[in-house]
């Protein structure tokens, strides 16, 4: 039994959500991870704990408080309405916000680890060649941290594809607007339509396997390249 039009719509929406979330997390997570890897501030511990909260909190807890914050009476809802953006719950934009919060540690932590491994010596050597801070980051840090960026991108993308509790709490189940793959599978199971559920779930298993295979193959090559850069 082939995938239905509703299934393809859910897949397309999930891919759009994962792409947007990963791009935003790379933009926001890179400076945050760099700060966490380099700072000696007492704020490092609390900030790192906040970033890691989605690893231990139930998704429904995160989704519930995000829903409250983005509601018309919440602080985020007040802000978005004042900016003329309307409210975010039960919209694709709301899904992006929720996904960014929920997938944050899967992007920030690999980047932080990659930046930490680099250490201070390569930057000091670049400084002796009169490279400014921006040049050091572009031409030394980014190439050496390539494995971390690959891992962060793949993990952030894959984790967003697998979200259920957060997206259901924030986006509900609106066809072609907020109904992602995980919710579509849930709908099939709830309707006892196991054949459709098998097709869609099996497709996601295969796709997730290929993503992780790409991660392991690419990270191995990137690690080798990084070692060549160090030598």
Q: How does pLDDT run across 178-230, given as a tens digit for each residue? A: 999 999 999 999 899 999 999 999 988 998 888 888 777 776 655 444 444 44
Nearest to 102 by CA among 70, 67, 55: 55
The first and second tokens of residue 54, run together, are 């989605």
The first and second tokens of residue 96, run together, are 């992006």
Burial class (CB in 10 A: 0-12, 13-18, 19+), 175: middle
Q: Would you state the pLDDT for residue 220?
A: 60
Q: Would you state the pLDDT for residue 52?
A: 95
Q: Would you state the pLDDT for residue 1?
A: 59
The first and second tokens of residue 2, run together, are 């082939």
116 vs 136: which has the higher pLDDT: 116
Q: Would you state the pLDDT for residue 216?
A: 78
Domain boundaries 5-230, corresponding CATH code: 1.10.3720.10
Residue spans per domain, the chain: 5-230
19 vs 132: which has the higher pLDDT: 19
Q: Would you state the pLDDT for residue 27?
A: 96
**Least confident interval from 2-11, 34-43, 66-75:** 2-11
Q: How far apart are CA 123 and CA 182, in angstroms?
A: 44
Report whether 208 contacts 161 (CB < 8 A). Answer: yes
pLDDT digits (tens, 9 = 90+) for 61-113: 999 999 999 998 899 998 998 888 888 999 999 999 999 999 999 999 999 99
87 vs 130: which has the higher pLDDT: 87
Report whether 178 contacts 121 (CB < 8 A). Answer: no
Nearest to 107 by CA among 158, 160, 161, 156: 156
Q: Would you state the pLDDT for residue 217?
A: 78
pLDDT digits (tens, 9 = 90+) for 146-180: 889 988 998 899 899 988 989 999 998 888 899 99
Question: What's the mean pLDDT in 1-26?
Answer: 91
Stated pTM of the model = 0.87
């Amino acid at each position: 039994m082939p995938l239905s039009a509703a299934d393809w719509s859910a897949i397309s929406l999930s891919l759009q959500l994962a792409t947007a979330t990963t791009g935003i997390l790379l933009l926001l997570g890179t400076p945050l991870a760099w700060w966490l890897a380099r700072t000696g501030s007492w704020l490092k511990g609390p900030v790192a704990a906040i970033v890691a909260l989605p690893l231990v909190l139930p998704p429904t807890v995160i989704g519930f408080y995000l829903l409250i914050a983005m509601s018309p009476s919440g602080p985020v809802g007040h802000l978005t309405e004042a900016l003329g953006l309307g409210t975010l719950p039960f919209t694709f934009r709301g899904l992006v916000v929720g996904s960014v919060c929920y997938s944050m540690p899967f992007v920030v932590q690999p980047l932080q680890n990659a930046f930490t491994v680099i250490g201070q010596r390569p930057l000091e050597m670049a400084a002796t060649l009169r490279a400014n801070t921006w040049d050091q980051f572009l031409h030394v840090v980014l190439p050496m941290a390539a494995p971390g960026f690959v891992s962060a991108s793949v993990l952030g993308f894959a984790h967003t594809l697998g979200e259920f509790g957060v997206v259901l709490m924030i986006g509900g189940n609106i066809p072609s607007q907020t109904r992602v793959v995980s919710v579509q599978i849930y709908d099939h199971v709830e309707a006892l339509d196991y054949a459709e559920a098998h097709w869609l779930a099996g497709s996601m298993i295969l796709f997730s396997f290929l993503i992780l295979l790409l991660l392991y193959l690419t990270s191995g090559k990137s690690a080798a390249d990084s070692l060549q850069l160090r030598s």
